[in-house]
Structures are given as C-alpha cells and as structure tokens.
Structure 1
Amino acid sequence: MQKFPLVSVICISYNHQDYIVSALNSVLNQSYPNIELIITDDCSNDSSQQVIKDWLINHPDVLFIPNEVNLGNTKTFNNAAKKARGEYFVDLAADDVLLKDCIKRQVETFTNSKFKKLGLVYGNIELFDENDKFISIYYNGKEKPESGDIYEMVISRSTKICSIASMVKKEVFETVGFYDENLAYEDLDLWVRASRLYNFEYIPEVLAKKRELPNSLSAHFLKRNNEKSKHLHQSTLTIFEKIIVLNKTKREHKAILKRMTFEMHKFIYSRNFRSVLKLLLLAIKAKKKTYF
C-alpha cells in the first residue's frame, strides 16, 4: 500500500445551501494530503447548486455531479462512487463537518490495525444545531462501541455506529455491493452486510460534527401519516428480512428481536399499522429460530 493511499470523499447535497460551503471547506482543510473530493447535488430546490458552482470557481479540479431529477441518497452516492478512484470512501452529508485530522486518523487506523480483514473504521462525533451550537457528544460514556467482529452489536442496536465519522474500504463495497437503491436510508444495511464479512475498528476520538436539523432524515421516522415515514419503515423491514437470512446463531436471532422491539415503538407512534403487522410477522419468524 502506498504511503498516502487516495481517499475519496463523496459529499451529497440536498437543500443544504446554508451549510455546504462549511462541509466542503472541512474536506479541503484536512491534514491528510491525498484526497479526492466529489460533490453531487440531488436536484435541490433551494440555491444549493448555485452555491456549489460559486465555490467551484476557486476549486475547478473538484468533480461536481448535479442530478437532473431527485434520485435519493442511495442512488446519488452509488452514481458518484462509480467515478471515485480512492482506496477508501467517506460518505459526507453536506450539512456535516469533518474535523481537521479525521481522515488522517482513519487512514492511520487502517494502516496500523491488528485486524487482518478490516473493512471499516469509525469514530466519535459531536452533535450541533443549525446555529453551530453544541448539543452533545454521540458516545457519551454509556455506550460501548466495539471493534473486531461487531455483527451482533450492529443488528441489536446496543450501540449505533457514527456514519459521519466512518471510512469504508472500497473493497467492501465491491464485495458486498454498494448501497441498496431500493432503501430510503443506506447506512444500517451496509453495516449489516459488511460486518458479517469484515472486522470494524472504533477510534475513541471525536472526528466529525453532525448537524441536527428539524428536517433531518431521522426526524421523519416518527412523523404520523407521512409517506416518507412509511418508506423509511418499509426500508427497516427489508433490512430485518436480510438480517434473518444472514443470522447464524440463536444468539443473533435474539439480538435482532431486541432491535425489532425498539423499532416497533416507532412504527406504533407514527401510526404505521401496516408496518406494525409486518414487523410482528417477522418477529415471529425470528423467534421461531431461537428454538432450533
């Protein structure tokens, strides 16, 4: 491996006119010297594309891919990833920020890891609001982010992975497949499929800042009688179906039952009763597998 392997940062913008410049500058300000930045805008209906074009005047070597129609995060990332040349990928939302040494620490961890089949590294993050005001630390001491074979941690939701502070080896995408374009959100599905085959390593440092906005994707999980909420819940059900197939032990089936209980509360709160029924049927299927 070369001394400074190329890292591809794919920055996806959708109605991020107020934040995109901070995200892009955080990539340029990295202490790591070998970075390829690819910007893609998912047909924003605000001024995001113009803000990006203005920024590109001083950075003409950066690739910009504007979508003519809204494709969603999964398709938008996959299209950009096909053009990426890096050995490692970072998926950066345009309202988030990488701290100066983020990529340096991630590459160092890959280089010096004791794990032979390391596919992903992840760190801690700060949560902040639309006014750049600090909210909290993601891993605040109660959680126990793990390293190594963390498949059970991923499926049980005992500790969530910070996607914004993650770096994924390109080989992982090539082996397990890129983001599932049928899903409304991408990270959990990739973590599940990747952690079944690869080791992950946690970096106990704050590496990035994630912006919490009222219209963030996570806020839609609990919205009532909402089509976007229903799509999110259907995606969760699809991921659960995959997990049941990937599980190998009774312990793992018990772990996914724990996560199903957590998701059930969200389904009920959002009054998505069709998804509640589907989840109950999946839970019965998983429960049966704990007996044999």
Structure 2
Amino acid sequence: METPLVSIITPSFNSEKFISETIQSVQNQTYKNWEMIIVDDCSSDETVSIVTKMALQDNRIKFFQSEKNSGTGIARNAALAKTKGRYISFLDADDLWKPQKLEKQIDFLKTNNLPFTFSFYDCIDEEGKPLNKRVEAPGNLSYRQLFFCNYVGNLTGIYDVNYFDKITISSIRKRQDWMLWLTILKKIKTAQPIPESLAFYRIREHSLSASKLDLLKHNFTVYRTFHGFNIVVASFCMIGFLFTQLIIKPGYIKKLKF
C-alpha cells in the first residue's frame, strides 16, 4: 500500500516547556512516512537546544532558525518552502497528536478521494490535563459556515499538494489558519471531517483562544484585510460571527464524561 510523504509544519517560539512532547507525539505516529519541518522564530529559551538534540536523533525532523522574529505566519511559510511531501499538515509547538492521527487521515483522504480533511479534537490545559471538552464540526462543512466560524483546528487540517499546490499562508500574525482553510473551502466548496478526536489542543493562559476580546479583534482584521471588506460590511460579518459563536457553535462543543 502506497504511503506518501506527509510534511508537518511546526513554528516554534519559546516552546521549551512543550516542544519535546509535541515532537514525541509525531514520532509515536503509526504512520511513519513523515517529515517534520520546525522553524524557530528566535526563541530566547532552550527551545533551540531541545529541538537540535532531537533532530540529531531522528533525521525526519528538519530544524531551521529565522534570522529575526517575524511571527508564526512567516515561520510557517519558511517551513512550507522546505516541504517535500504530497500532503501538508500543521502542528503547533504546544499541541499533541494521537498516535493514529496521520494514518486515519491519509486513509480517509484516499478512500474518499478528497484533497482536504480535518478532525475533531480535545482540549487540555497548560499542564496537559484534560478539560473534558471536545470541539466538533459540521459533517459537511461549507464555505459559508466557515466564513462565520473557524471549525477547523489548525492541528487537525491536512491538504493534498497535488490538488492545491503549496498554499502560501498570510503574514498577518493571528488567524492565519482560518484564512488558509477559507482559501481551501473557496475552491472545493465543502469539506468532510473525520468524525472523531485525533488531537489535543492546549489552551494556555495567555493564548488567543483564552482571550475572547483578542479573538474578536483579530477576526475583525480577517474580515477587513483578508476579505477586503469596508468597516460597515466587516461589522455586519462580526454580527454573524457572534451569532454563530453564541447560538450555533456551542452545539459542536461537547462536554466529555470519564
């Protein structure tokens, strides 16, 4: 059975607390044909030494350093330029994959002849403890649904380079993943997730996901800059976004019982 190369893009910045566990979650994949492209955005902690050591022990890990701190969008594009795989996937330096994540996604893509997919994911806190919360998505996600809410977790998305070519990521410092998925959905119209959790998303104390006000600000920037809407239209889009967040999306966030 063909096992095409999967390229994993990971930007890092002051990630010494999490990066080794993140890399190990990739090394634990049942799907073995991958390369992990890590681009460090001028960390001042021990991230560089940790990744350098792990890369010397596993030649599938490719490590590069930025000359100046430029944000995750620039780091992701630098990594993208160095990828060689048929499939592009994403994993931030503090998130984790479950062992069968890649195997199940590649099989799903090939079985259903799809160029893109994603999955559900579970949330953990900064210390890695479960928050008993699972983020799901519509079974047939449309561009319109994605326009008002980013249902695709960055750590779960994977796309076929043979279909899309390499897609340059926006240099805007926040919400690049949402803009990437919008670019993909604008072309293919709908996307199907694997209806199970394949990853762990870490919610950190000062992360964007932990700050609702910052989330609103950056989403407004997407409507203004990425879509090119004027202030009035962008404001109406934000109303739709808030409606989705308050009324619709809560139905896709499940409380787990253990």
- TM-score with structure 1 setting the length: 0.73
1:119 and 2:115 equivalent?
Answer: yes
Which SS does the other structure have where 2:181 is aligned? helix
Q: Which runs of 5+ in 1 are unaligned?
A: 244-253, 264-292
Pick from 126, 130, 133: which aligns with 2:129?
A: 133
* Structure 1 residue 260: Cα displacement: 6.4
Q: Who is 2:204 aligned against? A: 213
1:181 and 2:158 equivalent?
Answer: no
Residues 221 and 232, structure 1, Cα contact 8 Å, conserved in 2: no
Q: Which amino acid aligns with 1:195?
A: L
Residues 78 and 179, structure 1, Cα contact 8 Å, conserved in 2: yes
Identity of aligned residues (%): 26
Alignment of 1:199-278 (within 5 A): 199-220=190-211, 222=213, 233-241=220-228, 258-259=240-241
Distance in 2 separating the partners of 1:107 and 1:24? 19
Q: Who is 2:154 aligned against? A: 163
Distance in 1 separating the partners of 2:60 and 2:121? 29
| Alignment: residue pair count | 240
Moved over 4 A (4+): 228-233, 254-257, 260-263
Q: 1:239 to 1:233 in 2, by over 3 A?
A: same
* Structure 1 residue 235: Cα displacement: 3.8
* Structure 1 residue 119: Cα displacement: 2.9
1:72-127 deviation line (CA, Å, top 9, x unaligned): 111111111111011111111010011100000110011011xx5x3321111110
Distance in 1 separating the partners of 2:219 and 2:241? 15
* Structure 1 residue 160: Cα displacement: 1.6
Say which structure, 1 or 2, has more relative contact order (CA 8 Å, 6+ apart). Answer: 2
Q: Which amino acid aligns with 2:94?
A: D
Residues 124 and 138, structure 1, Cα contact 8 Å, conserved in 2: yes
Q: Who is 2:68 aligned against? A: 69
Q: Which runs of 5+ in 2 are unaligned?
A: 231-235, 246-258
Q: Who is 1:146 aligned against? A: 139
Q: 1:238 to 1:4 in 2, by over 3 A?
A: same
Distance in 1 separating the partners of 2:223 and 2:212? 10
Q: Who is 1:193 aligned against? A: 183
Structure whose alpha-carbon radius of gyration is higher: 1
Residues 16 and 46, structure 2, Cα contact 8 Å, conserved in 1: yes
* Structure 1 residue 60: Cα displacement: 4.5
